[in-house]
């Protein structure tokens, strides 16, 4: 994709996102009603409710202004090349890429914050103060800003430096290592937030002895909650709004209560609020949220690894060269539609969790006291009692107040679906983890982590399963249908690699390239006996370039002396002979109607015909390189005794084969990167599109089947038949006009593949 197209896509995403958000804000504003709901009428007087409506309108109108300003600023930076301009300004003075990125983002973040400070100031000291919420002093406002800058520089700068360092040193596999770092970091924040970060901004004081502390400790003992310390936070230092939470993942939890919460609620209501928070712990919401967030992080980093090395991202933002920091900005915008979908799913899960936590508080303490606490909190914060359903669906992490009150009164339990397998929460989470993990496994080198191989084998089955579940739940009008659709859509990029429709067939002026595993030119199921059918077909084929895996020739029997026959037809050749007996010379071969100016062997397996060779061909004054590859076979021909012996044997062969092919691929890729010429890669890779080898080749080159193929392109002429393991790839410069698999040639256990290329 060219930089101009990338920029257009980025701008479209920014514009559509802004318009959609404004539409939701507008609908939410228009959904306001002047009548007070019966459920909360005793807590709201008319004057207070009118003040609530005024607060919502003021906030909405101010949001329109701030969002519009931010949108115009972002759009201007994109269209005028502001990000690229800043990179070009800083680059001459800073030679280190990590330092350059730190300064770049530092300048961007500080300037954007300074530009929006008037809006922040107005929101805090005008709007919030007008409605009685603001308690922040000018000194606290400035102090918070400086502390935020310092914390961002230390934590954010450290993580950014590590990310760029891993990108530079490890390459495309950086996402695995940084994902592990991010997982550890998120865990540490959850464990020590109240101990290390919160005290930088607020004062935590142990809750004094008294009725409240006694009631909390009694409840914690009753439900076996691992209570540690109970703190009161000076939330009134900044706002009159209230909250409560606990932190820590270990055996002891720290309870934090805002002083504003304690001042405005009874002991029973405060314990009910705490019971709600304990419900999150008991229902394992925190653990599941952490695990899902880790999956999201790994997914984001994986997608980033496929885009960050594309120089077009940097050029699209106005840069003159590839810059990781520019690519990160472009990626952040391009990824936002996907993050919007995952955020939507997380909001749905969060609202479900809130209902469950409310139900737990009702079951273990007092539903009436919790309802009173929720009503008071809503009145005190002037919350919106009638939010628009669309706004709730896309933005609310907590259910609206009226829904929570009705759930407490009617024993309503929010479920993703009734207790059926396809609606089971555990089953859904298991399928999510399996699907996403298997998707990631396509990018993990088996020689580094061999279990990834077996995860990738299950990916096609998971795609089919997710699609089937989507159709089934859609017909049954199940609420989980969109979850199965999301999981299916995750796999569609790989699925689309396996089926193609191409009507373009103009082969005029092309060079025809054949790639064929000739099965050592043997008769089917007969070892050591040459097949006249294969030898005659090979010599009659009119391709200008022929790449044979498992090639063979007979030096004394002229009928099967394929090398001599093709030489007499004007072909030049480079043949790798794995080993030579009296008359036969099995191995690999490249035959060409054009002059071979150079050739060589990349690697070879001892005593097998598996190898990688290349030949440089001079065509009309230009030189191209042709690779012929045969990666390690599965070799499942042995028949060990016993069911467990057979299982173990197959397991070992699959494992060892994938590890060996991964290592062989590394040799090939490194050699390709050093090629001074455009190149083609033909061969029997013994890997399907759902594999690390295929994904790695595809990331470097264009696959011929995906470009000009038709149907499924299966190349295997033996059980299980429905596999495409023979491939042709090509580098930039070539133009592929047509690609076919000739399934009429059944003399070997593979079908021949043809590519019709226009040369660079």
- Active-site positions? 277, 358
Packing angle of the helix pair 425-441, 459-475 (nearest 10 deg): 140
Cβ partners under 8 Å of residue 403, min gap 6: none
Packing angle of the helix pair 324-364, 267-282 (nearest 10 deg): 120
Q: Nearest-5° angle of CA 669, CA 670, CA 672?
A: 60
**How far is the C-alpha of 70 from the C-alpha of 18, rounded, in Å?**
10
- Cβ burial of 518 (10 Å; 0-12, 13-18, 19+) is buried
**How far is the C-alpha of 229 from the C-alpha of 207, rounded, in Å?**
8
Cβ pair 625, 679 in contact under 8 A:
yes
Cβ pair 186, 286 in contact under 8 A:
no
How, if at all, do strands 253-258 and 702-703 pair? Answer: unpaired
How, if at all, do strands 204-206 and 227-233 pair? Answer: antiparallel
Closest listed residue to residue 367, CA positions, set 399, 412, 400, 418: 412
Q: What backbone phi and psi angles, to 5 degrees, belong to 413?
A: -125, 120
Cβ pair 574, 613 in contact under 8 A:
yes
> Could you give the strand order of the β-sheet that contains 545-551, starting from the edge strand earlier in sequence?
572-577, 587-592, 545-551, 511-517, 753-758, 735-741
Closest listed residue to residue 757, CA positions, set 503, 514, 501: 514
Closest listed residue to residue 560, CA positions, set 568, 552, 549: 552
- Joined tokens for residue 121: 């100031």
**How far is the C-alpha of 293 from the C-alpha of 253, rounded, in Å?**
21
Long-range contacts, stretch 333-341, CB < 8 angstroms, 24+ apart: 333/10, 333/13, 333/14, 334/6, 334/9, 334/10, 334/13, 334/307, 335/300, 335/303, 335/304, 336/13, 336/17, 337/13, 337/17, 338/303, 339/300, 340/17, 341/486
Provide the CB-side half-sphere exposure for 430 (13 A, CA): 8
In the 3-class helix/strand/coil scheme, how is 126-140 assigned residue by residue? HHHHHCCCECCCHHH
Provide the CB-side half-sphere exposure for 665 (13 A, CA): 24
Q: What backbone phi and psi angles, to 5 degrees, belong to 451?
A: -60, -20
Distances (CA, A) of 666 to 589, 602, 661, 696: 21, 11, 9, 9
- Joined tokens for residue 236: 């009134």
Cβ pair 569, 556 in contact under 8 A:
no
- In total, the chain counts a number of residues equal to 760
CA-CA-CA-CA dihedral for 697, 174, 453, 492, to nearest 10: -70
- Joined tokens for residue 172: 């495309």
Provide the CB-side half-sphere exposure for 270 (13 A, CA): 24
**How far is the C-alpha of 262 from the C-alpha of 625, rounded, in Å?**
76
Closest listed residue to residue 724, CA positions, set 461, 517, 521: 517
Closest listed residue to residue 86, CA positions, set 320, 350, 400, 273: 320
């Amino acid at each position: 994709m060219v930089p101009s197209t990338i920029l257009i896509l980025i701008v479209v995403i920014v514009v559509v996102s802004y318009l959609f958000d404004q539409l939701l804000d507008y609908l939410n504003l228009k959904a306001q009603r002047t009548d007070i709901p019966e459920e909360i009428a005793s807590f709201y007087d008319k004057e207070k409710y009118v003040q609530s409506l005024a607060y919502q309108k003021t906030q909405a109108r101010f949001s329109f202004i701030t969002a519009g300003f931010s949108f115009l600023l972002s759009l201007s930076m994109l269209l005028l090349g502001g990000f690229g301009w800043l990179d070009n300004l800083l680059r001459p003075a800073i030679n280190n890429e990590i330092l350059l990125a730190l300064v770049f983002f530092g300048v961007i973040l500080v300037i954007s914050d300074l530009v929006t400070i008037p809006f922040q100031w107005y929101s805090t000291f005008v709007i919030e103060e007008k409605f009685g919420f603001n308690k922040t002093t000018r000194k606290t406002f400035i102090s918070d800003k400086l502390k935020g800058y310092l914390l961002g520089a230390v934590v954010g700068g450290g993580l950014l430096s590590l990310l760029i360092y891993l990108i530079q040193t490890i390459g495309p596999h950086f996402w695995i290592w940084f994902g592990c770092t991010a997982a550890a970091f998120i865990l540490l924040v959850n464990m020590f937030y109240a101990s290390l970060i919160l005290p930088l901004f607020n004062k935590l004081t142990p809750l004094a002895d008294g009725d409240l502390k006694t009631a909390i400790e009694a409840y914690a003992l009753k439900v076996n909650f691992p209570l540690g310390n109970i703190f009161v936070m000076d939330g009134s230092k900044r706002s009159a709004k209230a909250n409560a939470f606990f932190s820590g993942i270990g055996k002891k939890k720290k309870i934090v209560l805002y002083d504003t919460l304690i001042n405005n609620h009874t002991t029973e209501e405060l314990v009910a609020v705490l019971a709600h928070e304990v419900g999150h712990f008991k229902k394992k919401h925190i653990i599941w949220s952490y695990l899902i967030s880790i999956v999201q992080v790994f997914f984001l980093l994986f997608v980033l690894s496929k885009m960050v090395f594309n120089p077009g991202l940097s050029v699209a933002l106005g840069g003159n060269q590839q810059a990781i920091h520019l690519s990160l900005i472009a990626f952040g915008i391009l990824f936002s539609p996907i993050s919007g979908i995952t955020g939507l799913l997380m909001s749905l899960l969060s609202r479900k969790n809130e209902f469950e936590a409310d139900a737990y508080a009702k079951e273990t303490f007092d539903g009436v006291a919790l309802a009173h606490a929720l009503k008071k909190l809503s009145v005190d914060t002037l919350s919106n009692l009638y939010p628009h359903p669309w706004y709730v669906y896309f933005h609310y992490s907590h259910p609206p107040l009226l829904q929570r009150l009705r759930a407490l009164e009617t024993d309503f339990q929010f479920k993703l679906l009734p207790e059926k397998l396809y609606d089971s929460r555990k089953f859904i989470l298991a399928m999510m983890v399996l699907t996403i993990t298997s998707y990631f496994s396509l990018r993990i080198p088996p020689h580094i982590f061999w279990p990834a191989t077996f995860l990738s084998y299950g990916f096609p089955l998971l795609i089919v399963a997710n699609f089937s579940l989507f159709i089934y739940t859609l017909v049954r009008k199940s609420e989980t249908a969109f979850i199965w659709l999301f999981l299916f859509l995750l796999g569609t990029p790989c699925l689309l690699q396996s089926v193609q429709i191409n009507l373009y067939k103009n082969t005029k002026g092309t060079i025809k390239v054949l790639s064929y595993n000739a099965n050592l030119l043997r008769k089917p199921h007969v070892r050591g006996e040459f097949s006249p059918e294969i030898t005659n077909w090979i010599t009659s084929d009119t391709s200008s370039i022929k790449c044979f895996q498992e090639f063979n020739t007979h030096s004394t029997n002229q009928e099967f002396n394929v090398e001599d026959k093709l030489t007499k037809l004007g072909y030049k050749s480079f043949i790798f002979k794995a080993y030579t007996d009296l008359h036969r010379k099995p191995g690999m071969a490249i035959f060409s109607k054009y002059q071979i100016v150079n050739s060589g062997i990349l690697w070879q397996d001892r005593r097998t015909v598996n190898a990688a060779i290349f030949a440089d061909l001079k065509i009309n004054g230009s030189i191209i390189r042709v690779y012929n590859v045969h990666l390690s076979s599965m070799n499942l021909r042995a028949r060990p005794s016993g069911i467990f012996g057979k299982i173990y044997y197959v397991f070992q062969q699959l494992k060892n084969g994938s590890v060996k092919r991964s290592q062989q691929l590394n040799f090939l890729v490194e050699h390709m990167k050093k090629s001074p010429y455009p190149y083609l890669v033909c061969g029997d890779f013994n890997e399907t599109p759902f594999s690390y080898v295929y994904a790695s080749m595809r990331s470097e080159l264009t696959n011929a089947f995906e470009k000009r193929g038709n149907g499924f392109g299966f190349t295997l002429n033996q059980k299980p038949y429905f596999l495409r393991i023979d491939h042709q790839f090509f580098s930039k410069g070539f133009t592929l006009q047509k690609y076919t698999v000739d399934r009429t040639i059944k003399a070997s256990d593979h079908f021949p593949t043809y590519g019709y290329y226009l040369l660079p």
